[in-house]
Amino acid sequence: MGTESETYQLGILGAGVMGSGIAALAVGHGVPVVLVDTDPGVLARAEAAVAHQVRHAALLAALPAGLPRGELFLSASAEDLAGVTAVVEAVTEDLAAKTKALEAAAGAVSAGTPLMTNTSGIPVDELAGTLPRPGDVVGTHFMNPPYLIEMVEVSRGPRTAGATLATTERLLVRLARRPMVVRDAPGFVTSRLLHPMINDAIRVVAEGTAPAETVDLLMQGCLGFPTGPLRTADLIGLDNLADALTALYLRTGDERGKPCALLLEMVRAGDLGRKTGRGFYDYGEGTK
């Protein structure tokens, strides 16, 4: 697709778990990154997280050997996205927050620059609706951790321009990812199937049928689920999972998508999974 001769610089809005993971993917593949977040503490933690993830990816041979790392630029202002090849929006799974971030990005970059939303389920066209250039918006649903999972779900909205999609696919190939294009819809494919299933697994735990570890072991040993749904929930972040389920439930009316009581209780308690050190499993001090 001509990616070897093209140069890229990636802008990322949101330096949390997914933002830093996508930054590590890009930096590890030699692509410079402008990572933007308004919280200085989040930025500082992200800088350390990116370095750690790049080292981890290298140890697992998940990065090309001998390729110089891309530079990581930290910023508190979306204005510093000017000149990037593409922007990934990776803020919390909330329509207002994502719309605000995309509007800031659209105001900083030139027309035709792809605005790639990492939403796990809010329809792309819903996010593009308030922007001056809806054709620049496309969904790129990276899986966590982005530097290890090679496939990326790409959601083309009804107004996503062909050039936007083509540039997005070339960039993903440059990052050694495999783009899979799907039609725009609530939850797309992966979240529409995975998140209600995780919600059901949490209900099984809440009802006392089996503890989290047993549920995960059965899903692994009997049904081939690599990490188990509850370890996956901890990796996603239980707050992010609850937000994504709420977005799905509001747009589909599917009761399986309504966050169950135990999930909401754990979110209120601050037990959000790996990033806080405790969720369905104990991770010590976590990544706070």
Task: Choose one of 161, 183, 205: the last residue of a domain.
Answer: 183
- Axis-axis angle for helices 238-252, 190-206 (nearest 10): 110
- Answer whether 0.95 is exceeded by the pTM: no
| DSSP secondary structure string for all residues of 53-76 | HHHHHHHTT-S-TTPPPPPEEEES
Residue 35 placed within a domain? yes
Residue 287 placed within a domain? no
Tell me, yes or no, whether 157 and 71 share the same domain. yes
Taking the alpha carbons of 220, 281, 234, 14 in that order, is the dihedral positive or negative? negative
pLDDT in tens, 89-105: 999 999 999 999 999 99
> What pLDDT shows up at residue 2?
47
b/e code 204-223 from CB counts within 10 Å (16+ = b): bbeeeeeebeebbeebeeee
* Nearest one of 108, 144, 101 to 122, comparing CA atoms: 101
> What pLDDT shows up at residue 157?
97
Beta bridge partners of 34: 11, 73
Q: Are 248 and 121 in contact (CB under 8 A)?
A: yes
Per the prediction, the chain carries an average pLDDT of 94
Name the stretches of the chain with pLDDT < 50.
Answer: 1-2, 286-288
**Other CB atoms within 10 A of residue 273 CB:** 28
> What pLDDT shows up at residue 113?
98
Residue 1 placed within a domain? no
Residue 3 placed within a domain? no
Tell me, yes or no, whether 146 and 211 share the same domain. no
> What pLDDT shows up at residue 5?
54
Q: Are 171 and 30 in contact (CB under 8 A)?
A: no
Tell me, yes or no, whether 53 and 19 share the same domain. yes
Tell me, yes or no, whether 22 and 140 share the same domain. yes
Residue 283 placed within a domain? no
171 HSE (CA, 13 A, CB side): 29
